[in-house]
Structure 1
Amino acid sequence: MHSRHMSIVIPDTTADAVYAFAADPDNLPQWAAGLASGVRRVGDTLVVDSPMGEVTVRFEPTNRYGILDHDVTLPDGTVVANPLRVLAHPEGAEVIFTVRQRDMTDEQFEADCAAVERDLAALAAAVTV
């Protein structure tokens, strides 16, 4: 299984500001295309209408380390762990998302990486508006 660390530096902001924005479930539709609509809360779990159908998302509890790891439970019950970090960077903040190939073909993995790259760019644009 291959992994790829995707990152973006968001200048002129702080890691705390980016973390606060990204951690707010109400902001997911602004930057996470895979979790783009119909976000509703059921306790600590988010239920989201996604391109794959209804999925559930559970984020790590709010913390001071910038950890936004989250598990996505797909419609078939598969749980996908998604490591996501927001770090201080000399120019602002850096967001790092680890994409794992799992059972995807190489083409699907590249498409997934491209989607994450678009989401990170959308996050940067949303935070800097």
Structure 2
Amino acid sequence: MTWPVVHISRSLDHDVAAVSRVAGNPENLPAWAAGLSAGIRQEDGRWITDSPMGVVEVAFTGPVELGILDHDVTLPNGSVVRNAFRVVANDQGSEAVFTLFRRDGMSEADFHSDADAVRKDLDRLAALLEERLPRAR
């Protein structure tokens, strides 16, 4: 069985390495990933954050430096949501691609709402990159 899926992408004016350094650093999540990042902190070597779902753990499964920003989110009930997020070269810039799955029990409206939230997160990531890094040429 497979879930319905949508790939949400955003072109970025920065190369894969630069995007990966910023987006793949858990300390930067509060600046761009609204659904995961309220008060991120390290506890016993794990990244913990207060999310709309409660306290969750976020772990990048990488290798981040290659643009593989896949990350697992361990929910308060112990279940793990695996999120596929890649940054690929697009000429001198890059393309950030998040794969959003419509998991069992998720309504169509919630799926569309999640997709909109991911688009906004990627827009915030683009703004953060513009703020912190010079443009790729």
With the length of structure 2 as denominator, give the TM-score of the two structures: 0.87
For 1:32, give the aligned amino acid.
A
Equivalent position of 2:124 in the other structure = 122
Equivalent position of 1:67 in the other structure = 68
Q: Is the 8 A contact 2:24 2:64 kept in 1?
A: no
1:95 Cα deviation after fit: 0.4
Change (3 A) 1:119 1:63: closer
Q: Secondary structure at the match of 2:121?
A: helix
Equivalent position of 2:78 in the other structure = 77
Q: CA RMSD in A?
A: 1.4
Match of 1:112 among 99, 103, 114: 114
CA distance in 2: counterparts of 1:61 and 1:87, whole angstroms: 14
Identity %: 45
Q: Secondary structure at the match of 2:66?
A: coil
Q: Secondary structure at the match of 1:33?
A: coil
Q: How many residues were matched structurally? A: 128
1:17 Cα deviation after fit: 0.4
CA distance in 2: counterparts of 1:125 and 1:105, whole angstroms: 30
Equivalent position of 2:134 in the other structure = none
List aligned pairs for 1:35-54, cutoff 5 A.
35-54=36-55
1:65 Cα deviation after fit: 2.1
CA distance in 2: counterparts of 1:45 and 1:61, whole angstroms: 15
Query: Which aligned runs of 4 or more in structure 1 are off by greater than 3 angstroms?
Result: 61-64
Q: Is the 8 A contact 1:15 1:93 kept in 2?
A: yes
Gaps of 5+ in 2: 132-137
Equivalent position of 1:23 in the other structure = 24
Equivalent position of 2:96 in the other structure = 95
Q: Alpha-carbon deviations, 1:31-77, whole Å to 9, x = none?
A: 00011211112345311001111011111144442101111011122
With the length of structure 1 as denominator, give the TM-score of the two structures: 0.92
